[in-house]
Chains A and B, each alone.
Chain A
Amino acid sequence: MASPELHRFTLPNGLRVVLAPDASAPVVGVSVHYDVGFRSEPEGRTGFAHLFEHLMFQGSESLEKLAHFRHVQSSGGTFNGSTHPDYTDYYQLLPSAALERALFLEADRMRAPKLTEENLRNQIDVVKEEIRLNVLNRPYGGFPWILLPPVLFKTFANAHNGYGDFVDLESATVDDCAEFFDTYYSPSNAVLTVAGDLDVEATKALVEKHFGDVPARPKPERPSFAEPAPQGEVRHEHGDALAPLPAIAIGYRVPDPVTDIDGYLAYLVLAGVLTDGDSSRLQQRLVHREGIVIDLNAGCGLFGPLEARDPDTFSITAIHTPEVDASQVVAAIDEELQKLAQEPPSVEELAKVTARWASTMHKEHDRLTNRTLGLGSAELLFGRAELIYELPERIASVTVDEVSAAAKALRPDARALLLVKPTGGTQ
């Protein structure tokens, strides 16, 4: 597949810019990725990166509270933001006539957001509702993305809850926000991506016009979050009063996607061989043949593949029937991994995974929001936006022996095992 053209440049203030023209529909995607996520939160400030993401929508020097939403939506656009372990993104999808407006909105809050006590208190309440909705009031809330890291990792940076706990959220101050902004939200710590119906030269001029005078600030030094893999199997049992059935999550470590992307991709293919589709190994055995598992997934990264730097996670999750002990499910998974370690998968098994990934990537790129975000995060994390166009081919070049080796590396003596036990008493 031909890679669409990419244009990149860096403004004098350090802002990296990626332009990806595509005139197939009169719409344009704009995103800003900041190189800070919840791994960078200090102790006692869990959930702060995400809370801060909310505050960035609450007004800036040129825009009163609520104006951001109204200007995007009255241009016919949609918007959102999200917080990940290693980055926070902001994005808009709009009819292309609104491109300059979108750039203006992003630049204004990069230059001078309004951080006020009133907005902070309001958004702490909103975030608490978000946590009640997605975690506290919901069966399997936070499974596995909040629950597995504290079992697999030991350092605060890697192990803590990225949504935050209420006590930490409530004690956040406006001055904490100011410090966080000045440290991490500098143009030199961000990537701006524009994809879709755009003229390269005109867009470059608009980017310079709106972002050119955002004052330069130093790029913060990013500490290493590296830590060793668990020495042995680490187990944790989590009681869930709302869950009707038990669940397990097994977490392993994967190779560093920055320094060993192809090694990492072998695990992506392995995940497909194990759980993608009715003909995958674990679906066939656990769901269809033995009927002990209701729902099953495997994959790289708790937010999806290539969404974080090292250290990252390979996880297998299953919701299983109460008649079956978790150890039976784990033993079957170990057995299948062992088989793959001893005898590589067939060429056809890999061909299935490769073809499904090719179409997955096409579908992602056809949705302009996803393409814009994919380009932006690949540029930020790996310095290579084009990676997203190369993935189908790189995935196709993973060999059966590499998949076998990946299976062999998922050892019972270097993993985290999270057991979710229903404690509600009734089914």
Chain B
Amino acid sequence: MSQARLTPGVVPGRLTPDQLAANFVDVAPPLTDHEARVAADRCYFCHDAPCITACPTSIDIPLFIRQIGTGTPDAAAMTIFHANILGGMCARVCPTEQLCEGACVRMDAEGQPVEIGALQRYATDGLMAQGTHPFRRAAPTGKRVAVVGAGPAGLACAHRLAAKGHDVVIFEARPKPGGLNEYGIASYKAVDGFAQAEVEWLMGIGGIELRHDQAIGRDITLPALQAEYDAVFLGMGLGGVNALRAEGEDRQHVTDAVSFIRDLRQADDLGTLPVGRDVVVIGGGMTAVDAAVQARLLGAENVAIVYRRDQDRMGASRHEQDHATASGVRIICNAAPVAVHGNGAVAEVEFAYTRAEPDGLVLTEDRFRLKADQVFRAIGQRLEGAPEGLDLAGGKILVTGPGRTTLDGVWAGGDCASGGDDLTVTAVAEGRDAAEDIDARLTGRPVEIPG
């Protein structure tokens, strides 16, 4: 064992480069041709299939699986992309156990669903690897649409608009497109730069201009966009991170899980990333799991996820939780942080056990402390700097129907908009549907949405 492994504090290089490389390989390697055919053969081609209903983008799953089974995976990929242009990433990051696979009738039959996510990846990877873009643009409409944010919602919206012949300009605050897919997902879920490759492939439709370092409220304003473009779609995600509201949370090495995940995704050399020997992650969603597991994979000796409610209320799926525990992460439920102790840097986190009361969660007198030299907050993100003039609901932009905001000519979707469930696939669906609504508004054409 490397000596760095046991070094106290937050240090880089706890593991050797070989160990790091081995730890961060593809978490779910792609199916081979034969595996795909065998997996496809398990699909019953259900009537009005429950998996389609369970998919936010309503991909015709039985059809694409049948197309794989008959040796036409490219046709399968097109079935997927018609409904979900980010089907490649969704195949990697969707909580399929909660969505399509959770609804699979094979769950009732045997407790083992058809491997829909893996099959989707098989089909989409195959078509994308051919390096050509399979969609053609409709005749130019002369209309121009501004899309704010190059995350899943913005990209899906832009692609659909471009396909319909509109010209699109995407304004992205960060240096790279992809949003959550590029910055917010554990790296072992999307290896080999897949997020950037997917955006590049998506842009192959043409008619989309991507402008970097363009944050709304800083570099651009909504009224200016409204004045210059025929429609505006807001898909800027959630920039702010919720605070712990625990005493001492300003101590050193208490940081956001999202920035840890972002730094990890952007690092050229994982050996340069500092990580604690004792890491505590506070929260219960997928971000918490991604941060905790990656801390382990970087060489943290003890990693705990602490969540304030019951385990079944955790935002992370059971599959994600199992992945965490299998990676050596301890999950502690029904405990909330009350204080961060330490002399300058964090040394311990003090928790109170919680109890669910009719009026809400209450802290009990039972307390415990966890040794920690690094603490990650993963307790949710919030919208910061929403443009003026938009009505909000629950801290997000209020939308009705296919992403219509309270401002005429302005649509919103993805995490920054009300409703939804903070999933990539939901953001894709919202972006796509808003694009259809925008197109219908701009041209009077009928809406084409699968499902």
Q: Is A bound to B?
A: no
Interface residues of A (CB under 8 A from B): none
Interface residues of B (CB under 8 A from A): none
